[in-house]
Structures are given as structure tokens and as C-alpha cells.
């Protein structure tokens, strides 16, 4: 008997007249499904993943279609006004991923969707659809795929121990000395493409995107590659997104949000430098691209390859728990690491008071005979922190309503407030009445000045966040850079001097971040070069660098965190807001947890608490916390000031 005999019975696989939507609303308690009627003119286009316009409380709002149903949960549902896009922005896989991320990070569907889908651009959409139509009219023959041997058999990875991996492959690798990272990434991408699978490559910034793309075009047709990053502008970004969504591009390279790219038949996600803080989303719900990559691997069974100059504690936890496999360098380091500690400084009276010890000067002079030398400085600017010369009290802005820390932008500049920008030429200390200032910390600019005086006539290159230099030639020069702004030397640095090595920030991830920065800089040393570290050789951080064994250091850090029941062994929610509201959240959670805090938030009337929960209770905990946050969002504006960050990278 056919469906025509029973016209009221839904046809199997047909789209019902009701669209279940998630509407773009700014309050958390309305982050739920709403049913709308689909008019006949939109029956074929208002499919799951489509973006539509609807009326909600008398105002037109965007919404995503989550599902199509034959019956509504409400009487007389309102009709959809129109379908916005010609191509549904969200695939079924991306729909599910966005909801999973929102649940894990105690956020809303739309807060995650805004990051996953670039802002629509009509002209970009039209240009992509024209190409799709042209391709359909004259289809090209499907390329033949000839699977290649995996990375274990590829010469690019010859300096690594590559053990047997399960399927899907979840691999964590720490870079070998002077390794060619972009070649390693290209090898992994080529391997998965040889199987006919899609690939996502996630790197920290636009410069990394450009370097990796240049390598990829050597092994993969450029027409198959799409770039997703904020630096390319809204029109091109949406065009690239639609090329991926329509299957025209199968390899995506980009920054943080590229982890959501709707790649067809995703075979692998490759991420470089996962310990970099740029992978943490700056807006609610503050998701982490590294964890989203892991979630996507769970969802689709795609491979995940996560590499870094130094092993992160989080990925070492993946390895210890058995979720990932560790790939380690087998090549011994090819440079000498010299640590200048307190004992050596004591033998050198001049070094005791000098920021740059004489041994570091000697290392620099030797390196300059053959090529460029890198000085790694912890802080940017000229003199970022000042204090009273007489009583050593921190120098603060004369404006009592500001009280920002004073800084200097050059050796002849007047001290100014780093917060409000006010000049403080007639500054006086409020503790002792003194008027003389001294430098507490020295930045890259002051270091460059010191080197210029010590090496007259030598080219000085200064690179920091606001003025990054991408590369330097293989000629004698002195490069002063802050972490993350190190230029790539054409043939490697002949020496790297790491200053301010004792400047560890008092936080959970402070030592981990310091090791990551040291390894990233040291990785740039040429064969036969020298590394000079102004730090104690007995510290765990220095020992890791001397051994070139960041996995060993991550294991030690993981042991310490496990004994203290701190992340990543546990999960944690950072709750910030008015004291009464923060305390109420902690008291009302029924899941097994402990509370650290509350403590005052600097320069704020708010407090911060950490709710720590065993991983076995994490799913129930986040559901309960999400329910509480939805309840709080219905109350007055004071309680809405609560902010939740799940699994912050630092505490």
C-alpha cells in the first residue's frame, strides 16, 4: 500500500512542515529550540543547517534550522519569514559539533555558531555559486587517489620514533631540533589527501598560515586549498568558507576558528603549537581549539595530529590516558646549551649586577662571526615597569582614579601611564616622596639599545608583537625578539641567548609556557650553534632544554597536577562575578566538586572562584552548571554579570 492511500502519513525521508530553530538571542535562558511553520515557498530550502529570518517578540532575528518535523510542540506556530542563504552554512556534522561545544563550555549555540560561520557576504556567495554551476555543467573527471605510505615511512619524519598507531590515529609530536615543521605538516596533509580524505590545518597566526600554505601548494593543487583566517577580510573569508561547504576545497588551513570548517569526509585535523594561548576563544563561551579538535575526532573518527615545539601538559595527559600516541624526536640536539646560573655569576663580579652576563656577550661575539644571533627577551617595550629609586615602591599614575603602572617608551621619553596614557613628568612617590625612577623590568627596546652600544656598527633588528619581523638573512646581525615574535633566520641562528629566564609568572601554566618559549627559540638554532640560558642548570625547565626532552618535563608537571587534583587531570570552571552570586553558584552545585576561592579580581569589584570536578563527574557537572546559568540569566542585571570559563588554560 502506498503513501497515497494514507495522505496524512509522513513520507519516509520527507521534510515536515515544521522547522525546529535555534534563534539568535542574547540571553542564555532562551537558548533552546523554537518551532516555526515553513511556508510552501521555503519548503525545499529551509533544511537543517539553513539560516532563516523569523519574528521573535515582534523583532526580526536570525535563526538556524536544527530539524524539520511533522508536528510542532506549540499550537499555531509562527511562519518563517525567509531563508537567508542559498547554501545552508551548517552541515549536519557542524550542527552537532556546535551544540556539543556549547554544552561542554556552558555557553549558547549561537555564541559558538558565530565563531564557526563567517559573516555572510552576498557577492562572495554569488561568485562561489557561479563556479559550482559551471562545474556542474562541465564536470571534471574525479581524480584518482593512490594512497601513499604513512609518515613513519616518509623521509620528512626520519628524525622521529613513529610507533604503531590505532585507527583513528591520534598523535602528539614534539619537534625535533631544527625540524622543518611546515614540511612535516605538508607530509601529513599529502598522506591523508592521497586517501581521498579532507584535511584541516590549524596554526597560530597569519604568518604561519602563509608559510604552511606555501608548502602545501607544492604537494596539493592550489584549487583544493582554502584559507580561513580573520586577516583575509570578510568577503574572501566567506568565499573560502563556501568553497569548503560546497566541496570545491578539501584542504583548509587557518587560525583558531578553522577547526570548525565544514570539510567533506574529514580525514585529519593537524594543529601546530597547541600550547599557544591564541587557541583560546576570547568571547563566551571561551572554547579551546585544541579540545574542539579532540571533540571532532570523537564525533567523526578523524585522525588528530597535534605538534608543538614543546609538549603541552594537556596533550601529555592525552598520551598518559591512552587516548593519543606520543611521537618523539630521536635526533640528538646539535648545539651546546650553556646555563649561566648563580654560581657562574658569583665568579664574575661584573655579571652580578649586569642583566647580560659576560658569558652571554662572549656567546654573541662568537656567533656573530658566522651569522645572526638571537636575544630572547621576556617583555616588550622599552621599560615596561618602573619603581621609586629610593623606596622601591611600584610607580603608579598620579591620577587617583587610575593608578596604572608607569612605563617608558624610550630612553629619553617621559614616564607615562600604561593604562590611561597620561604623562607623569612631575611624578612623586606617594610612599616616600621621592621623585627618581628606576627600571624594574627591561623590555626588548632597551635591550636593543644596550646591544647597539656594545656592538657599534652592527645591524640591530627589534621584533615584538606590535612590530614583528618575519625573517632575517644569513648575515651577521643582532636580533632582539619577544616570545612568539622571533624572525626565521635563513640558515638558522648561530647563537641564541635567552635572557630574563627567571621571569616565571606565578600561575599554574607559568613554567609550562616558559619551556614552550625556550624550545621555540632554541629550535631556530643552526647546526653547530650555541644556546646561552641565563638560568640555573638544576631547574627542571633548564634540564628539559639541555636534554631536549619536553615530554619528560610535561610528565613531571602532570605528576604535580595529579597530586594536587588540578587540570588536566580534573576539569575546572572559573566563575567570576559579584561575590554573592559566585558563592551561590558554588553552593548550589550538587555534583562532586571542591571550591578554590573566592579571591578578589584585580581592578574590579568582582571575585573569582574555581570549581574543580573529577573528570568522571564532568558531564553531569557542566549540565548542572549550565542549568544554573540559565536560571541566573532570568534575574536582574547583577546576577547576569557572572562569567563562566570552563577549563581555563591558566589559573
Q: Is the pLDDT of residue 581 over 80?
A: yes
Residues 475 and 472: their CA atoms lie apart, in Å, by 8
User: Residue 40: CB partners within 8 Å, gap ≥ 6?
Assistant: none
The verdict on 362 and 459 lying in the same domain is yes
Cβ contact 274:130 at 8 Å = no
Q: Is the pLDDT of residue 489 over 90?
A: yes
Cβ contact 619:610 at 8 Å = no
Q: How many domains does the chain have?
A: 4
Residues 431 and 570: their CA atoms lie apart, in Å, by 44
Domain that holds residue 222: 124-132+146-329
Question: What secondary structure, in 3-state letters, does 279-310 show?
Answer: HECCCCCCCEHHHHHHHHHHHHCCEEEEEECC
The verdict on 504 and 376 lying in the same domain is yes
Cβ contact 611:593 at 8 Å = yes
What is the predicted pLDDT for the residue at 384? 84
Residue 3 lies inside a defined structural domain of this protein: no
Q: What is the CATH number of the domain that holds 324?
A: 3.40.50.300
The verdict on 156 and 262 lying in the same domain is yes
Residue 76 lies inside a defined structural domain of this protein: yes
Q: Is the pLDDT of residue 58 over 70?
A: yes
The verdict on 433 and 570 lying in the same domain is no
Residue 609 lies inside a defined structural domain of this protein: yes
The verdict on 424 and 537 lying in the same domain is yes
Model confidence, pTM: 0.91
The verdict on 365 and 419 lying in the same domain is yes
Nearest to 28 by CA among 94, 110, 96, 100: 110
Residue 360 lies inside a defined structural domain of this protein: yes
Q: What is the mean pLDDT of residues 367-395?
A: 90
The verdict on 154 and 269 lying in the same domain is yes
The verdict on 550 and 417 lying in the same domain is yes
Omega cis (within 30) before 529: no
Residue 137 lies inside a defined structural domain of this protein: no
What is the predicted pLDDT for the residue at 146? 61
Nearest to 534 by CA among 380, 323, 269, 356: 356
The pLDDT tens digits of the residues spanning 504-548 come to: 567 888 899 999 999 999 999 998 899 999 888 889 999 999 999
The verdict on 478 and 581 lying in the same domain is no
The verdict on 397 and 534 lying in the same domain is yes
What is the predicted pLDDT for the residue at 49? 97
Cβ contact 394:404 at 8 Å = no
Residues 445 and 328: their CA atoms lie apart, in Å, by 37
Q: φ, ψ for residue 252 (rounded to 5)? A: -115, 135
The verdict on 321 and 410 lying in the same domain is no
563-574 in b/e form (b: 16+ CB < 10 A) is eeebbbbbbbbb
The verdict on 60 and 167 lying in the same domain is no
Does 180 or 139 have the greater pLDDT score?
Answer: 180
Amino acid at each position: 500500500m502506498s503513501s497515497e492511500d494514507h495522505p496524512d502519513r509522513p513520507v519516509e525521508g520527507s521534510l515536515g512542515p515544521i522547522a525546529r530553530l535555534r534563534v539568535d538571542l542574547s540571553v542564555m535562558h532562551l537558548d533552546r529550540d523554537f518551532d516555526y511553520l515553513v511556508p510552501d515557498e521555503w519548503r525545499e530550502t529551509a533544511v537543517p543547517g539553513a539560516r532563516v529570518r523569523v519574528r521573535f517578540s515582534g523583532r526580526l532575528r536570525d535563526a538556524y534550522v536544527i530539524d524539520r518535523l511533522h508536528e510542532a510542540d506549540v499550537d499555531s506556530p509562527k511562519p518563517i519569514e525567509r531563508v537567508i542563504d542559498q547554501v545552508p552554512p551548517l552541515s549536519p556534522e557542524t550542527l552537532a559539533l556546535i551544540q556539543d561545544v556549547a554544552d561542554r563550555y556552558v555557553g549558547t549555540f549561537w555564541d559558538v555558531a558565530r565563531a564557526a560561520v563567517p559573516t555572510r557576504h552576498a557577492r562572495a556567495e554569488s561568485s562561489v555559486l557561479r563556479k559550482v554551476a559551471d562545474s556542474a555543467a562541465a564536470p571534471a573527471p574525479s581524480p584518482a587517489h593512490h594512497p601513499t605510505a604513512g609518515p613513519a615511512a616518509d623521509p620528512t619524519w626520519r628524525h622521529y620514533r613513529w610507533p604503531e598507531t590505532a585507527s583513528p590515529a591520534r598523535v602528539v609530536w614534539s619537534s625535533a631540533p631544527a625540524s622543518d615543521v611546515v614540511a612535516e605538516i605538508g607530509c601529513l596533509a599529502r598522506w591523508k589527501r592521497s586517501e581521498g580524505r579532507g584535511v584541516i590545518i590549524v596554526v597560530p597566526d597569519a604568518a604561519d598560515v602563509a608559510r604552511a600554505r606555501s608548502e602545501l601548494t607544492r604537494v596539493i593543487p592550489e584549487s583544493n586549498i582554502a584559507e580561513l583566517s580573520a586577516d583575509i577580510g570578510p568577503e574572501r573569508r566567506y568565499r573560502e568558507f563556501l568553497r569548503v561547504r560546497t566541496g570545491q576545497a578539501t584542504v583548509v588551513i587557518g587560525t583558531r576558528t578553522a577547526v570548525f570548517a565544514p570539510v567533506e569526509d574529514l580525514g585529519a585535523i593537524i594543529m601546530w603549537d597547541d600550547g599557544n594561548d591564541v587557541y583560546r576563544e576570547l568571547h563566551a563561551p571561551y572554547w579551546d581549539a585544541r579540545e574542539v579538535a579532540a571533540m571532532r575526532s570523537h564525533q567523526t573518527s578523524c585522525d588528530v595530529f597535534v605538534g608543538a615545539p614543546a609538549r603541552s601538559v594537556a596533550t601529555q595527559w592525552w598520551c598518559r590516558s591512552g587516548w593519543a600516541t606520543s611521537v618523539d624526536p630521536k635526533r640528538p640536539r646539535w648545539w651546546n646549551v650553556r646555563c649561566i646560573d648563580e654560581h657562574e655569576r658569583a665568579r664574575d663580579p661584573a655579571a652580578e649586577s649586569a642583566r647580560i652576563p659576560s658569558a652571554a656577550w662572549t656567546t654573541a661575539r662568537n656567533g656573530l662571526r658566522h651569522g645572526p644571533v638571537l636575544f630572547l627577551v621576556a617583555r616588550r617595550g622599552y621599560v615596561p615597569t618602573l619603581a621609586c629609586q629610593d623606596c622601591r615602591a611600584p610607580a603608579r599614575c598620579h591620577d587617583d582614579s587610575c593608578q596604572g603602572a608607569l612605563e617608558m617608551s624610550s630612553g629619553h621619553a617621559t614616564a607615562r601611564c600604561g593604562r590611561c596614557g597620561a604623562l607623569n613628568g612631575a611624578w612623586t612617590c606617594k610612599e616616600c616622596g621621592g621623585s627618581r625612577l628606576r627600571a624594574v623590568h627591561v623590555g626588548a627596546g632597551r635591550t636593543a639599545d644596550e646591544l647597539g652600544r656594545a656592538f657599534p656598527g652592527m645591524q640591530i633588528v627589534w621584533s615584538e608583537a606590535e612590530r614583528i619581523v618575519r625573517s632575517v638573512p644569513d648575515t651577521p646581525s643582532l636580533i632582539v625578539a619577544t616570545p612568539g615574535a622571533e624572525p626565521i633566520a635563513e640558515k638558522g641562528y648561530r647563537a641564541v641567548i635567552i635572557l630574563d629566564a627567571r621571569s616565571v609568572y606565578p600561575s599554574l601554566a607559568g613554567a609550562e609556557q616558559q619551556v614552550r618559549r625556550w624550545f621555540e627559540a632554541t629550535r631556530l638554532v643552526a647546526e653547530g650553534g650555541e644556546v646561552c640560558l641565563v638560568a640555573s642548570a638544576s631547574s627542571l625547565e633548564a634540564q628539559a632544554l639541555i636534554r631536549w626532552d619536553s615530554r619528560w618535563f610535561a610528565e613531571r608537571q602532570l605528576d604535580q597536577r595529579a597530586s594536587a587534583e588540578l587540570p588536566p587531570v580534573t576539569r575546572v570552571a572559573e566563575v567570576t562575578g559579584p561575590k554573592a552570586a559566585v558563592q551561590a553558584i558554588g553552593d548550589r552545585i550538587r555534583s562532586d566538586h571542591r571550591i578554590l576561592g573566592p579571591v578578589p579580581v584585580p581592578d574590579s569589584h568582582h571575585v573569582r572562584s574555581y570549581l574543580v570536578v573529577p573528570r568522571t563527574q564532568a558531564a553531569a557537572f557542566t549540565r548542572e552548571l549550565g542549568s544554573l546559568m540559565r536560571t541566573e540569566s532570568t534575574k536582574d542585571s547583577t546576577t547576569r554579570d557572572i562569567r563562566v570559563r570552563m577549563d581555563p588554560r591558566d589559573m
